[in-house]
Amino acid sequence: MNDYMAPKLDEAAIGAISAAGLAHVGDAVLELMVRTWLCQQGKATSGGLHRASVQYVNAAAQAAAMDKLLPELTEEENQLYHRGRNAHTHAAPKGVSPGQYARATGMEALFGGLYLAGKRARVNELFALMMEGSHAL
C-alpha cells in the first residue's frame, strides 16, 4: 500500500512529473506547513488562521522567501527550483510581477519535489529558514 502522507519517489519518478505538478504538490505542502506553524504560534480561529496564512502563502511572500533560500540550496534543489521557475505559467495574478510569480512557482516546485522524494527533514530546514524572524500575524 502506498503511503501518500510520506511518499518516497526516486529521481526518475520525480523527473517524470511536470514542473506544474511539482508546484501543485508544493503549494499544498507549504500551505499545510504555514497553517501548522500558525497554530503553533497561537492562531486558533479559522478566520484568523486563514487571514494569517494568506500573508505567507502568496506569490509575493513566496518570492521574497525564495530570495532568502537561494544561497542555501544544493545543486539538486537548485535544479528543482529552476524547473518550476522556468515553467510556462499563465499570466501572473493581479498585483504580482511575472518575475515574482515565476520565483514563487519555483519555490513550490522545490518544496513539492523534496516532499515527494521523502526529504522531509530538508523541507523542514528550508521552511524554518523561510520563517526565521517571522511572527504570527
Residues serving a catalytic function are 27
Cell numbers placing 97: 510581477
3-state secondary structure of 122: helix
Exposed, middle or buried: residue 1 (CB in 10 Å: 0-12, 13-18, 19+)? Answer: exposed
How far is the C-alpha of 60 from the C-alpha of 103, rounded, in Å?
A: 9
3-state secondary structure of 43: coil
How far is the C-alpha of 124 from the C-alpha of 44, rounded, in Å?
A: 22
6 within 8 A of 120, measured Cβ to Cβ: yes
| CA 40 to chain centroid | 19
